A and B are shown apart, each in its own frame.
Chain A
């Protein structure tokens, strides 16, 4: 739409230039007084200048608009990336009943967290270990601690400084899913990951 009007403006300008160059070489037989000719030429020149200025102004506006759009798109993409990184960072890992060893299918998720922590050196995180309701209430505090420590040790063994990772255990006190079946239990046996500082504007690894 804008570019169409720009072409129209350029075409109009070209037509004016062509017209004026034609008019700029009057036949000698012309009896029009010289003063009139000079005034007419000035008028035509002004018109051309005005058209050129208008075209230039519109082109500049368009350039600025495009620039703004590009910047906005870029920021949005950046935000999307940050959100994506945050989601990846916060992805939970899960455990087998009464176990605290990292499952093979969760190692990829932990590897991603390693990469995120490496790409964001100011980032510090907290790992919360949780259990299902089947075990003993108090023992689950120890088990939840083991689960949080297991994830921390994995990250530390892959080069992340231990001081960047806090751990805590909630035992079975904060279930993610209410319910008394294996579906709920398997979701509740988990580690949660959350940034505690440096979590804004996360960079993609």
Chain B
């Protein structure tokens, strides 16, 4: 991890607030501000958001800057003091118009390379590998990504954003952030994703940046265990009803819900979609204990029992992304541990190694979208901690150690996990980046649990039923 500390020393006398008065700051950049940078070695490229004001894009810029920050793939360089420094824009210095380039970037002091209208050496000195400029061109929003080392524009992404406040505005901005990340690094982002979770028996959704929390449960009955379909258009969940556990599928766009056929006769819980969306695997508790079943939810046919526990319980299925295998929890060694089998129920075997009589209960597995890992939680000294199993080597590593941490769910980039933690004093949702170890709270509300991170959400499906 590299941290860049931008130290701004205002050498010129400024007001007590530290902000130069607007009428006096026209030459403040050249003479009054010194930018110092302290590096620590690391691998993440630096990205600077070019500060601009106006154009009605402040919200868009702030959202994209945060999305890129939350991607944990960049060292997002914040220019100190924001627009008061006016490092990069001359919009407030019309009297020095000769220094203003087409893109509004002004040449400080000595000038320098100006391809793309940017002072690339300056940003290189700031530690930036990329610079992102968000501008408006008529009703089109343009995200221009500069490659600082190449001293050129890497890509300009043009999109027509809905108006702020429109239903799809935020998701459209998140998609623009993901396109920017794709342009910079060639890998898709996770900005346009949501997380389902349960709070006080109801299912809610929230954007990955913590905005737009919304109730999606449509009844007053107690619900548990939301699970996304791979296309992000549906989710399955369990609802208590007359002492049974019912499984429902709900359409994300219109809220319409359908009971899974054959449900309602027993306690059905922990649904999980197969990657092709055809099959729903779930746990069913009966007199014989709890066992795993699958049903085809497209044809409402073919209930299949995958495990026969007799004296042990089998639950919490999760498909591998190729649909060939199912990881699950089994109590066959006494305490619940993580097992794996072929998707047809054959070849059942231990998946996450444990020391008999020493290792605590292991539960809540979720297979990563890249297929390489299975996240789960394990009882360690009387509390729960998040672990990750490496599928190839079958080794586990403990990811958390502060407080109680449980029910991990993978982001589509397979490097972020959302989970429940009480590290702040009450149970809420947190997000951790496995590569950097950075951790942030998703929402500041107690009682949130059982999160499920969506796949990448493409254009919002039509809201007409």
- A interface vs B, CB < 8 Å? 98, 126, 128, 134-139, 141-143, 145-146, 149, 152, 166-171, 173
Contact = CB atoms under 8 A, between A and B. Distances in A.
A169 B285 contact: yes
Nearest to B290: A142
Contact of A142 (B222, B283, B335): B283
28 contacts: A136-B336, A136-B364, A136-B377, A136-B406, A138-B225, A138-B283, A138-B364, A139-B313, A139-B329, A139-B336, A139-B363, A139-B364, A141-B224, A141-B283, A141-B285, A141-B290, A142-B313, A142-B315, A142-B331, A143-B313, A145-B267, A145-B313, A149-B289, A166-B243, A167-B287, A169-B267, A170-B240, A173-B201
Main secondary structure of the interface of B (DSSP, over half): strand
Nearest to B422: A180
A138 B285 CA distance: 12
Contacts of A137: 224, 364, 406-407, 449-450
B364 A145 contact: no
B245 A141 contact: yes
Q: Which bucket holds chain B's interface residue count? A: 20 to 34
Nearest to A174: B222
- Residue among A137, A141, A142, A169 with max Cβ neighbours from chain B (10 Å): A142
Contacts of B306: none
Contacts of A169: 267, 285
B430 to A, nearest CB: 16
Contacts of A139: 313, 315-316, 329, 336, 361, 363-364
B384 interface: yes
Interface string B313-350: 10110000000000001010001100000000000000
Given A138-B363, A145-B290, 17 more contacts: A98-B361, A135-B361, A136-B364, A136-B406, A138-B283, A138-B364, A139-B363, A141-B224, A141-B245, A141-B267, A141-B270, A142-B285, A142-B315, A145-B289, A168-B243, A168-B267, A169-B285
A139 B377 CA distance: 12
A120 to B, nearest CB: 22
Contacts of A98: 335, 361
A-B CB proximity, top 6 nearest:
A136-B363, A145-B285, A168-B243, A142-B290, A142-B313, A139-B363
Nearest to B335: A98
B287 A149 contact: yes
B351 interface: no
B269 interface: yes
Contact of B289 (A134, A136, A146): A146
